[in-house]
Amino acid sequence: MSDTATITASPQGKKRRSWTFTIGAAIVGLHLLIGLMTLIWTPFDPAAMSGGRLEGASLTHLAGTDRLGRDLFSLIMIGSRIALTVGCGAIVIGGLIGITIGLLAAFASRTLDDILAAGLDILIAFPTLLLAMLIVAASDGASLETAIVAIGVANSAIVARLTRILTKRVLSMDYITAARISGTSWIGVVWIHILPNIWPTLLVNLALQFGLAVIAEASLSYLGLGAPPPNASWGRLLQEAQATVYSAPLGAIAPGIALVSLVIGINLLADGLRDLADPTRRSRR
């Protein structure tokens, strides 16, 4: 009976992996393509007043214009590039800091490990957006670079805690003891045994952190703590459209849809990566 269940579950598992990963990759890939396209072309100059104020959608302005007469579709395209830049930068910074601290905590003495673990728990207790706001407020001023660093540092505690837990689990395995007896250094153990074993789970977590970073950047920009003008962040577009949301709702709806679609795509991609990294699912293939 178990063999039959396994055989039956396998095509469904493959199909789910295929659809989840493919749809997520397609959505994220579309945003990536749009973001790269803005480096060489946009329908209109994002800073130019190419139409009347608060125009509706038309063949000329696909998403209408904002209160300054700028083409909203061009601004939203620029927003894709900013969101992806922040997401990539934040997970690189958060990943490097978090993985380093997590490994150090796993290899540290019990007292130091307890101190680091308590510190990570305290940082995780604070909302990511609040920590990012405090870091931005303590810096020279709001900028895209400051937002990336702030979000990356704020997310690093989650990565560090996960790395510490996964590393301790791997260190308890018998093959780690065998590797040490055979003369492998601790650095070799990290590169050969620990990182390859914890990387699939970390990759899924970093993909989820990417989505959180995009939302955090939009929130900071909405509060005026993100990328300053003329950067067309989706959060800033939503803030600017707040005053005209009833007379020109497309100004808020369009960047909102762009933000939601990217986050959904990232979450689907992370879900697909989790399925691919799940040893139980892999064994059914």
Q: How far apart are CA 236 and CA 239, in angstroms?
A: 5
Domain boundaries, the chain: 17-32+70-284
Would you say how long the chain is, in residues?
285
- Of 235 and 177, the structure prediction assigns the larger pLDDT to 235
CB 76 within 8 A of CB 234: yes
Provide the whole-model pTM: 0.86
CA distance 6 to 147: 47
Q: Per residue in 138-189, pLDDT tens?
A: 877 778 888 899 999 999 999 999 999 999 999 988 888 888 888 888 888 8
Among candidate residues 211, 195, 201, the one with its CA nearest the CA of residue 88: 211
CATH 2.130.10.30 matches 17-32+70-284 = no
119-145, pLDDT tens digit by residue? 888 888 888 788 888 888 887 777 888
| Contacts for 196 with CB less than 8 Å, ≥ 6 apart | none
- Among 245, 251, 221, 246, smallest CA distance to 233 is for 221
pLDDT tens profile 38-49: 999 999 988 888
In this model, does residue 14 exceed pLDDT 70? no
